[in-house]
Each structure stands twice: as structure tokens, then as C-alpha cells.
Chain A
Amino acid sequence: MNPTQIVEAVLFASEAPLNAEEIARADEALNEDLIEEAVQELNAAYSESERAFEIRELGEGYQLLTRADFAPYLERFDTIPRPSRLSGPALETLAIIAYRQPIGRIEMEYIRGVSSSGVIHTLQDRGLIDVVARGEGLGRPLLYGTNQRFLEHFGFRSLDDLPRPEELPVILRDRTPLEDLERSEPVEAAESVKAEVDQPEPGVDDVLSGEAGDPAGD
């Protein structure tokens, strides 16, 4: 049993994308490099032998998917409801969030020129965006960002699969400076809020030593 076969077995049995860490659980000998190598090897073998499927990278995960050419055949089966396509406003809003995250509702609405709270709700319900932080301004607005589901939905490996910043001079010209992002504090564990910010949540020690951000700071 070589590592490539083990990776193949794990991916074959999985219905959802698995990241390297998850795959590595299969065997002590596996690591990220080996898995990446295995995936390349398998894909080369699949294309050589003209398999109808291949391993795709979605976000950080790998998944065995059929090749797009076979869609017409598979689409004849309607036993499973396919994920419905997103509406125009939803796509617009996602585009803004993808480039400007973390971003609050007000800013999105300014860019789109229309109110967006309904669309934001829809996107949250579909699990494509998360609240990732809170802004500094009045009322500590919720800031949104895209997540792993977003990448999976569009078949992206990472946000780099979107057009490069150089190709979109305007959007990114006034992208929130990095320092501002770092200054925005992570969300406290509120319901319906999935904090996915690198900064750790302030612990008891932080509170006692008074180093954690003062909620009434501004």
C-alpha cells in the first residue's frame, strides 16, 4: 500500500472535499507534501487513462469530481436537487465581499447603490459568507468575509482564482489598508456569528491584565 493508493482510497470514499490534514489522518506516513504529490500522480494517471473523473482542489480541500464534459449525461438524472444558482444581486454582493473583505453592510450598499441587507442574509443562510469581525465605527458594525463554502461553490482553489488586483485597479485602489483590518477586533462569541479571525479571543488573563481591547474604546 503506497501513499498514493491510500490518498486515492480516502478521496474515493469521501463525498465532500477533504483537506490535507484530514487525509493525513489515514496513515502516519502521510504528510502534506506526500499528499500533494499523490494528487498530482493520480491526476496524471487519470488523464492518461482517460478516466471520467479527476481530483479537484476546492478551497483547501481535494475532491474527486467528474470531468465537466460528462455533465450532459449526469444532468439527465434529477434525483438530487442541485444547488440553486445565485441571483444577480447575490453575485454582485459576493463579488464585493470577495475583494473588500472584511466589509460592512453600509460600504457594500454604497458600492452597489442599493440596500443589501436581504441579500446578505441570503448569503449567510447559504453559508457562503461569515461574520468575520466587527468594525471600529459607530455601532461596531458586523464585517463580512467569504469562507471555504464560497470557494467550493465556485470551484476556486483560493481567492487568487479571481482576477488579479492589477486587472481591477479601482476596486482595490481603496481596499481597506491592512492595518485597519488588524485593528478591527474579532467578534465575541455571539450567536449566529462565526468568528474566523486569527486573533485569539481575549481570555481571563487578558481581562485581568487589562490588555484586551476595551469594548468602549472609541
Chain B
Amino acid sequence: MDLAVTESPLEREDFLVIDIERFQGPLDLLLHLISQQDIDVFEIPVARITRQFLTAIEGIGARDLDNAGEFIEMAAGLIHIKAQMLLPRHGETEDEDPRAELVRRLLEYEQIRDVSQLLASAEAERARRFGKGFLEPRPRPPMEETLLETTWEDVFGAALLVTPPDPVIRTHLVATRPVAMEDKMNLILGTLDRVRRIEFSRLVRPFKSRTHGVMTLLAGLELTRRRRVKLRQVEMFSELWLYQGVEGSAEGSEDKGS
């Protein structure tokens, strides 16, 4: 609470200077008066509070008629309560303090005020977190419409000036096989003309390069496919034997070429 209330050293009760505009309404003002003077809300000295209340609202009447009504209504209510308290009570209703409803409203209002403070801090806390879209996208420079000042002739002229790109000359490198399969096939057949069978390793041995080995194998396979030669191997990685064709004698008649 701010220094909205200044107390006169002379007469504590009645000289409260209150800036009425600071209050949300009569309940706010009443709560303020009560808390300022450490009054037990259940034991409100109605006469004293009413007096202070009236003093506080004296100034507002002309200035702000809208709000004035609410304050004046509360003042009337306070006076009504005071009057009820002065009247003798009727027997059984003794436990019903005329102030009870006011107390209930004050407590309730006080809590509402607390909750609204809590809401305010929740709101402030929430405002510290930003979602996407917090920053506005940078505005794009507006696209201006410009008149085309060229003629078709200019456009065609410009087009003619463009030199077409050189056609890309693709070169394909074709590697010639240094060893011809024909030669190897002839080698195999020639050998098998002389012997019934020959080891693969012996066919390859005179040549150094691996290519010769590969081509010899391919030639052997090809000849097998043509049924001119048979391949035999006892087990994996053992020596590969090449035999004369299925019918060694028939091979000449099968293939007119060789």
C-alpha cells in the first residue's frame, strides 16, 4: 500500500486524506480503511468507519457521478448497518450480526483482489515467453511496375547476338583389349588337337599378364558352351582341366569354321 492515507497526529481517526480515484470501488476503499487501521474485519467499528468513508468520498460527487453512486450506496448501507446495530435485537436472531453480510463481501472481495494480482503476475510471466511469429517477417521491397521500353526488333536483335553454346563434344574412350579371346580359343583348341586334356595353369603359364589368364578362362568357358571343350575340376581351387569336346572326333563336323 502506498501512502494514500496520511494520519493526523492529533486525531487519528477522522483525518484520513484519501485519493478516491485510486480505488476500484467502495469495497476496495473499505478494505483499505480497515487494513490501514489494523481493524479486525469481524469487529468493524461501523460508526467510525462510516465517518471515515463519508469523509473520503466527499470530494467525488461532482467530479465523477458514475462512480459516486456506488460509493454513496455503500455509505447508505453502512449507515443502515449502524442503525440495525442500535436497534434492540429480536430474541433468536441474536447471533446474526448486521455486519455479517458486509464482512462476507469484504472477505470475498479481498480474495478476488488477491486472485487478480495473481492473474496479473501470471500474465506478466506469460508475456515473457514468445512463440513463433514474434518477429515480423522483413517486408519485401515492393515490386515496381516498369514499362518495357524495348521493341520486338531490339529483342530479336539481342537474341541474334547471343552465340549459341558450343556443342559439347563427348569423347568416349574405348579401351582395346590387348588380348583377343579368339587367340585364346585357338590356343585351347590347337592344344587339345594334340593332347586329350590340358591343365589350365599350363595354358596360362607362358604369359605374364593377368589379362591372359582371364581371357583364357573366358575362352575356355565359351568353348564349353559350344560343347567343343569340357571342364573338370576335382574340388574348389584345385587344378582345372580342359578336355577335348564331348565327342572329340565329331567336333570337326560340328563346326565348319575351324
CB of A36, distance to nearest CB on chain B (Å) = 20
User: Most A CB atoms within 10 A — which of B74, B116, B120, B129?
Assistant: B129
CB atoms of A112 and B25 under 8 A apart? yes
CB of B105, distance to nearest CB on chain A (Å) = 7
CB of B86, distance to nearest CB on chain A (Å) = 24
- Residues of B contacting A63 in the complex (Cβ-Cβ under 8 angstroms): 131
What is the interface residue range for chain A against chain B?
35 or more
Please choose the segment from B12-20, B106-114, B248-256 that sits at the chain A interface, where 4 or more of its residues have CB less than 8 A away. Answer: B106-114
- Residues of B contacting A85 in the complex (Cβ-Cβ under 8 angstroms): 120, 123-124, 127
CB atoms of A56 and B129 under 8 A apart? yes
CB of A187, distance to nearest CB on chain B (Å) = 26
- Residues of B contacting A156 in the complex (Cβ-Cβ under 8 angstroms): 122
A91 at the interface (CB under 8 A from B): yes
Question: What number of residue pairs across chains A and B have CB atoms under 8 A from each other?
Answer: 119
CB atoms of B109 and A113 under 8 A apart? yes
CB atoms of A114 and B129 under 8 A apart? no
B115 at the interface (CB under 8 A from A): yes
Instruction: Name the one of A80, A86, A115 contacting B123, with C-beta atoms under 8 angstroms.
Output: A86
CB atoms of A170 and B122 under 8 A apart? no
- Residues of A contacting B116 in the complex (Cβ-Cβ under 8 angstroms): 88, 91-92, 94-95
- Residues of B contacting A88 in the complex (Cβ-Cβ under 8 angstroms): 24, 116
- Residues of A contacting B27 in the complex (Cβ-Cβ under 8 angstroms): 112-113
Closest B residue, CB atoms, query A116 = B25
B51 at the interface (CB under 8 A from A): no
CB atoms of B115 and A114 under 8 A apart? no
What is the interface residue range for chain B against chain A?
35 or more
- Residues of A contacting B109 in the complex (Cβ-Cβ under 8 angstroms): 111-113
User: Most B CB atoms within 10 A — which of A64, A79, A92?
Assistant: A92
CB of B121, distance to nearest CB on chain A (Å) = 9
For the complex, give the distance between the alpha carbons of A96 and B113 in Å.
9
For the complex, give the distance between the alpha carbons of A134 and B128 in Å.
37
Interface residues of A in 165-207 (CB under 8 A from B): 168, 170-171
CB atoms of B135 and A80 under 8 A apart? yes
For the complex, give the distance between the alpha carbons of A117 and B118 in Å.
23
User: Most A CB atoms within 10 A — which of B108, B123, B125?
Assistant: B108
User: Most A CB atoms within 10 A — which of B28, B70, B105, B132?
Assistant: B132
B134 at the interface (CB under 8 A from A): yes
Closest B residue, CB atoms, query A71 = B128
- Residues of B contacting A66 in the complex (Cβ-Cβ under 8 angstroms): 129-131, 134
CB atoms of B107 and A154 under 8 A apart? no
Closest A residue, CB atoms, query B118 = A163
For the complex, give the distance between the alpha carbons of A26 and B136 in Å.
27
Instruction: Name the one of B66, B112, B136 contacting A111, with C-beta atoms under 8 angstroms.
Output: B112
CB of A85, distance to nearest CB on chain B (Å) = 6
B133 at the interface (CB under 8 A from A): yes
Closest A residue, CB atoms, query B110 = A170
- Residues of A contacting B132 in the complex (Cβ-Cβ under 8 angstroms): 12, 14-15, 64
Would you give the 0/1 interface string for A73-107, flagging 1 where the beta carbon is closer than 8 Å to chain B?
01001011011011011011011101100000000
For the complex, give the distance between the alpha carbons of A91 and B112 in Å.
9
Interface residues of A in 1-35 (CB under 8 A from B): 12, 14-16
CB atoms of B112 and A96 under 8 A apart? yes
B172 at the interface (CB under 8 A from A): no
Instruction: Name the one of A12, A70, A71, A94 contacting B119, with C-beta atoms under 8 angstroms.
Output: A94
For the complex, give the distance between the alpha carbons of A189 and B236 in Å.
90
CB atoms of A170 and B104 under 8 A apart? yes
CB atoms of A115 and B128 under 8 A apart? no
Closest A residue, CB atoms, query B122 = A154
For the complex, give the distance between the alpha carbons of A88 and B112 in Å.
11
CB of A192, distance to nearest CB on chain B (Å) = 25
A153 at the interface (CB under 8 A from B): yes
For the complex, give the distance between the alpha carbons of A79 and B139 in Å.
11
B245 at the interface (CB under 8 A from A): no
CB atoms of B70 and A154 under 8 A apart? no
Having A77-B135, A80-B134, one finds 12 other A-B pairs with CB under 8 Å, namely A64-B132, A68-B129, A88-B116, A92-B24, A92-B116, A94-B116, A95-B116, A110-B105, A113-B109, A153-B126, A154-B126, A162-B118
The 5 residue pairs across chains A and B that have the minimum distance between CB atoms:
A155-B126, A114-B25, A71-B128, A91-B116, A113-B27
5 pairs across A/B with beta carbons < 8 Å?
A14-B132, A68-B125, A95-B119, A112-B24, A154-B122
